[in-house]
Amino acid sequence: MILKTQKNDTIVALSTPVGVSAIAVIRLSGENCIAIIEQIWQGKKLSTQAGNTVLFGKIINENKDIIDEVVLALFKAPKSFTKQNVIEISCHGSGYIVQEIIKLCLKNGARLAEAGEFTQRAYLNGQFDLAQAEAIADLIHADSKASHQLAISQMRGGFSNKIKELRENLIKIAALLELELDFSEEDVEFANRTQLLTQVIDLQVVITNMANSFQLGNVMKNGFSVAIMGKPNAGKSTLLNALLEEDRAIVSNIAGTTRDTIEETKIINGIKFRFIDTAGLRETEDTIEKIGIERTLKKIKEAQYILYLFDMNTMTITELEEEEKNIVQPYQIPYCLVGNKIDLIDTKNVEAFEKLPNFIGISMYEPQKIQLLEDFLANYIQHISSQESQIIVNNTRHHQCLLEAADALQVVQNAINHRFATEMIASDLRQAIFHLGSIVGEVTNNDLLDFIFSKFCIGK
Amino acid sequence: MILKTQKNDTIVALSTPVGVSAIAVIRLSGENCIAIIEQIWQGKKLSTQAGNTVLFGKIINENKDIIDEVVLALFKAPKSFTKQNVIEISCHGSGYIVQEIIKLCLKNGARLAEAGEFTQRAYLNGQFDLAQAEAIADLIHADSKASHQLAISQMRGGFSNKIKELRENLIKIAALLELELDFSEEDVEFANRTQLLTQVIDLQVVITNMANSFQLGNVMKNGFSVAIMGKPNAGKSTLLNALLEEDRAIVSNIAGTTRDTIEETKIINGIKFRFIDTAGLRETEDTIEKIGIERTLKKIKEAQYILYLFDMNTMTITELEEEEKNIVQPYQIPYCLVGNKIDLIDTKNVEAFEKLPNFIGISMYEPQKIQLLEDFLANYIQHISSQESQIIVNNTRHHQCLLEAADALQVVQNAINHRFATEMIASDLRQAIFHLGSIVGEVTNNDLLDFIFSKFCIGK
């Protein structure tokens, strides 16, 4: 493993998607990128130009054949994304041209960039910390308002600052303990143990709360999974189609029509929901349907919310409460009871159902009722969000680090409570500091970095 | 139809392909694009910046939420692609972000660009002529060295200059004739009819040659189609696979394995070839095979070259010459006779075959023999190219205009030969001038422009 920190060789990659288009952008970064491009450039001399300028010119090969007329953006170190010299070539969006220009860059001394290598250099050169770098990947993949806002706020450093603040606090405590160690022969306590315990508990609570916000963060990033559950012919596939406003699932009045679970996403109020249509639950002799029901039960267990759909027309409140208790509640997943065909039963009956907690009545023929269901789900997420702190964790690695930091602080508390030696308390505290540090990349190793950046796009 | 020439409203489009990537580029052009972006921009004031600069800043919405941190390239009229104010926003390559930024541009007064509208504005504002604009679309779609070079040379104006030169010559002749018309009552001939005839014939020859180069131009742009023809089990599919170096066509020793014609492209020496594997020609009772053979015959008729494949092991030279005469030559398409299994017959026999013109012996087990066949095809194209003038026409519209110009010049010649009135000669000459002018867009109409630019990418 070569330490990339010291690398200043020139990397090149296509930074826009592959495909025929008006423009494609090829990006280079590295000490020599200006010299490399000057070998294949016809236009104003690059080395004498100021940074942050755009230049019009031609890319030529060794025979002076024109490969393309391009616009070149020149960024001079350290005023660039990677803090190195950077050139961005906007050429015509032809695969052939892109390939020829990259080939010419390679011939003249550049090498192909690995995935995320531009961002990695930016991080290694102090443009931002590791959590901010990771937010860039999240930002690129964001496909809803919620995931986008989360990524932007993390990229802007909100999360990093909070982590750094917590880490500073732990370091201050650790410093006091280290001081005690320096004077260990004199048996003094610079850090009052009761005060110390309170501080550690407070910090642990904050860290644990942040770790817990991962559930919501994960919802915002990857979507909130909602299983549509119910007996055969309750109208589950019709509900999925109504939510998606398209003919996604095959619908028939034959019980057992749906066999494979179908999963589709829909953005409601900026939050991504994953709706899962499942096979209707019943005893069956049909082999394929049996497999479908098995998969359904597994899918429901993994869901974050259940819409239990039933036909209001064929069920009494007592029967419903029976099913709720025996079928729905055992999953221990938040749910609501969705009464279908509300348009077919009389008002008095409706009123009785509406007294149930978690009840929503719908009709596939009344789009505004489907809208009500969507609003209900959106409000549910809103409600969870409002209980969270401002900082929401959406990254598995960060979540893991926070949990480990919280665990380490638990060990610290035990050590204080048992009046263990200062040395041991200090050592456990350093563990917590280490875990927080690895979130923002203040402590790290190359394997971890390679792993993180390998998930980026090439050209980023 | 609104004349777009006078349009200076601001258009916006994504100029890079759709997809998750490091960077996406959103382009705006129009008088107000700077004012529009300033509504959603946090960074240095754009209106006071010099053109050709890049700026780092943020795109924000009406609630000051940050949509993205971007790099903005500013081009001020007339120093831009469209000769209008142009802004290119390089944002993170997320579909969500692109959509949000474009929405904000629309909210603040831009409208979505139509396909090719940026290039159309560049043309209308005199950045280049119509043939050059059309070359940009060709350039973007170029996928081989030959098509790329052709497009580059056309974009750089080589073709346009030649057309303009021809047109100038015709205009000079027309001017003389117009002069005669001014003095028509005096019955003078400013233009000597014999000299006139020679000039018109010379120009017609040049124009006809250019029109004829379309065959080659079309090959360079769209590829050269080569039908692999032969009796069942000659090894046609094996040859296709060998040329493609992959298992494309299903191969078996059962005659009649191939039913659908298979078409695949391969770039050889920078030229794109379209190889067409066809059903083996024989009498058959199999219904599907029959349909296959019918399609084969149709495909062969459309091909530009035939590889007639036969098994050297089972055929005498006399039989081969028989088939050549009865099966291959009736198509009136250039061809060569490809003897398969050359490795299985003795040298003396090989020598006899090699005396045939257009013979190539191959073996699927000897890659260097396949290479020889490829070189043969590449040389064939090279040979055609060398016979052409430097200017090669690759655009159907240009080809059509050239043919019409040549036709008009034929009419001019007839008129001169029959000593028709000067008025008629001048009028026919104006037709030829018109057709040449419409190639470069000196005469045009909006419908034609809309048609041409509608074939461009959005964002170009």
Distances (CA, A) of A48 to A9, A56, A337: 21, 15, 71
User: Reduced to 3 states, what is the DSSP secondary structure of residue B420?
Assistant: coil
Nearest to A272 by CA among A235, A228, A217: A217
> How many A-B residue pairs are in contact by the CB < 8 A criterion?
166
Contact B225, B305 (CB under 8 A): yes
Closest-CA distance, A74 to chain B, in angstroms, reads 9
Lookup result for tokens 């200059």: B161
**Of B201, B207, B179, the residue nearest B412 (C-alpha):** B201
Instruction: Answer whether B18 sits within 8 Å of A15, measured CB to CB.
Output: no
Give, rounded to a whole angstrom, the gap between the first and last alpha carbons of chain A.
21
Q: Cβ distance B13 to B458 under 8 Å?
A: yes
What pairs with residue B272 in β-bridges? B267
Kindly report the nearest CA distance between residue B93 and chain A, in angstroms.
Answer: 6
Q: In this predicted structure, what is the pLDDT of residue B389?
A: 60
Pairing of strands A21-29, B66-75: unpaired
The first and second tokens of residue B71, run together, are 């790099």
Q: What residues of chain B lie within 8 A of the CB of A17, using their CB?
A: 16-21, 93
| Contact call for B460 and A22, based on CB within 8 A | yes
Q: What angle do CA A392, A397, A402 make, to 5 degrees?
A: 60
Beta bridge partners of A26: A14, A89
Nearest to A387 by CA among A221, A209, A161: A209
Residue type, position B260, single letter: D
How does A184-201 read in b/e, with b if 16+ C-beta sit within 10 Å?
eeeeeeebeeeebeebbe
In degrees and rounded to multiples of 5, residue B431 shows phi and psi of -60, -50
Other C-beta atoms closer than 10 Å to the C-beta of B297 total 13
Q: Computed from CA positions of residues A46, A49, A51, A53, in that sequence, does the dihedral angle turn out positive or negative?
A: negative
**Which chain B residue is nearest to residue A18, measuring alpha carbons?**
B17
**Single-letter residue type at A107:** K
Which two tokens mark B114? Answer: 């139509």
* Contact (CB<8Å) A16/B27: no
Nearest CA in chain A to B456: A22
Instruction: Specify the DSSP class assigned to residue B327.
Output: I
B78: preceding bond cis by omega (within 30 degrees) = yes
Residues of A in contact with B27 (CB under 8 A): 22-23
Average pLDDT, stretch A328-354? 91
Report the alpha-carbon distance of residue A162 to residue A392 in Å, rounded.
Answer: 11
Supply the pLDDT for residue A297. Answer: 84
Tens digit of pLDDT for each residue in A221-265?
888 999 999 988 888 888 988 898 877 777 777 776 776 778 888
ipTM for the assembly: 0.80
**Tokens of residue B26, six digits:** 């959103």
CATH 1.20.120.430, chain A: domain bounds:
136-213+394-441
* Cα Rg, chain B, nearest whole Å: 29
Question: Pick from B377, B414, B356, B416: which is nearest to B177 by CA?
Answer: B416
Per-residue model confidence (pLDDT) at position B259? 65
DSSP output for A106-162: HHTT-EEPPTTHHHHHHHHTTSS-HHHHHHHHHHHH--SHHHHHHHHHHHTTHHHHH
pLDDT digits (tens, 9 = 90+) for A70-117: 999 999 999 999 999 999 999 999 999 999 999 999 999 999 999 999
CB contacts of B89 in chain A (<8 Å) are none
- The Cα–Cα gap between A364 and A373 comes to 11
B81, B92, B103: best to mutate for the A interface, most A CBs within 10 A: B92
Q: What is the pLDDT of residue B460?
A: 86
Which amino acid appears at position B314 of this protein?
Answer: T
Q: What are phi and psi of A68, to 5 degrees?
A: -165, 160
Which helix (H) or strand (E) covers residue B60, if one does?
Answer: strand B53-60
Cross-strand pairs, A263? A276
Mean pLDDT per 10-residue section of chain B, whose length is 460 residues: 62 93 96 96 95 96 95 96 97 94 96 93 94 92 90 91 93 88 74 89 94 88 91 87 81 71 86 86 74 81 93 91 93 94 87 90 90 92 75 90 96 93 91 94 81 84
Q: What are phi and psi of A392, to 5 degrees?
A: -120, 125
Give the whole-angstrom CA distance, residue A422 versus residue A192: 12
Cross-chain Cβ contact A457/B68 below 8 Å:
no
Compare CB distances from A25 to B23, B53, B457 and report the shortest one's residue: B23
List every span in chain B annotated with CATH 3.30.1360.120: 4-128
CB-CB: which of B19, B93, B139 is closest to A19?
Answer: B19
Token pair belonging to A352: 């009785």
For the cut 50, the answer to whether the pLDDT of residue A5 exceeds it is no
| Residues B72/B40, Cβ–Cβ less than 8 Å | no
Burial B256-265 (b: 16+ CB within 10 A, else e): bbbbebbbbe
At the fourth CATH level, which superfamily is domain B219-387? Answer: P-loop containing nucleotide triphosphate hydrolases (3.40.50.300)
Q: How far is A80 from chain B (nearest CA, A)?
A: 10
CA separation for the pair B313, B326 (Å, rounded): 21
DSSP state, residue B326: I
Distance of CA B8 to the CA centre of its chain: 30
Instruction: Check: CB of residue B337 under 8 Å from CB of residue B358.
Output: yes
Structure confidence at residue B285 (pLDDT):
76
Closest-CA distance of chain A to residue B136, Å = 8
The residue type found at A253 is N
Q: Looking at the complex, report in whole angstroms how far the Cα of residue A425 sits from the nearest Cα belonging to chain B.
A: 43
Kindly identify which residue of chain B lies nearest to residue A55, measuring between CA atoms: B52
Task: Reply yes or no on domain B136-213+394-441 having CATH 1.20.120.430.
Answer: yes
Asked whether the beta carbons of B123 and B133 are under 8 A apart, the reply is yes
> A310, A354, A307: which is closest to A335 by C-alpha?
A307
Residue A22 near residue A93 (C-beta atoms within 8 A): yes
Distances B140 to A92, A393, B7, B133 between C-alpha atoms, Å: 6, 43, 26, 11
> How confident is residue A1, by pLDDT bands cut at 50, 70 and 90?
very low
CA distance A394 to A139: 12
Smallest CA–CA distance, residue B263 to chain A, in Å, is 21
Fold type of domain B4-128: Gyrase A; domain 2 (3.30.1360)
CA-CA distance, A203 to A197, in Å (whole number)?
10
What is the secondary structure of B11-58 as a DSSP string?
EEEE-S-SSSEEEEEEEEESTTHHHHHHTTEESS-GGGSPSSEEEEEE
Which residue of A lies nearest to B14 if distances are taken between CA atoms?
Answer: A22
Query: Which of B11, B18, B25 to probe the A interface (max A CBs under 10 A)?
Result: B25
Q: In 3-state terms, what secondary structure has residue B460?
A: coil
Contact B92 A136 (CB under 8 A): yes
* Confidence (pLDDT) at B2: 39
Cα torsion through A5, A10, A14, A16, rounded to 10: 60
**Best of A18, A28, A74, A96 to disrupt the B interface by mutation (most B CBs within 10 Å)?**
A96
pLDDT in tens, B241-290: 889 887 777 777 777 677 677 888 898 988 899 998 887 777 777 777 77
Using alpha carbons, select from B162, B166, B158 the residue that is nearest to residue B199: B166
Residues of chain B contacting A65 with CB distance shorter than 8 Å? 149, 152
Q: How far apart are CA B131 and CA B134, in angstroms?
A: 5
Tokens of A365: 């023929």
Residue A141: closest CA among chain B residues belongs to which residue? B94
Q: Of B22, B53, B66, which has the smallest distance from its Cβ to A54's Cβ?
A: B53
Identity of the residue in A71, A100, A457 whose CB atom sits nearest the CB atom of B21: A457
Would you call A17 and B15 a contact, using CB atoms and an 8 Å cutoff?
Answer: no
Choose the closest CB to B143 out of A67, A96, A141: A96
Mean pLDDT of chain A: 89
Checking phi first, is residue B276 left (phi over 0); if not, alpha (psi -120 to 50) or beta? Answer: beta
Find which of B16, B145, B156 to mutate to test the A interface (most A CBs within 10 Å of its CB). B16
Nearest to A93 among B16, B97, B118 (CB): B16
Q: How far apart are CA A66 and CA A43, in angstroms?
A: 12
Q: Which of B148, B150, B153, B271 to mutate to test the interface with A (most CBs of A within 10 A)?
A: B148
List the one residue out of A74, A13, A26, A95 whose CA is nearest residue B25.
A26
**Which positions in chain A touch B118 (Cβ < 8 Å)?**
22
List Cα–Cα distances, B35 to B39, B40, B91, in angstroms: 7, 9, 19
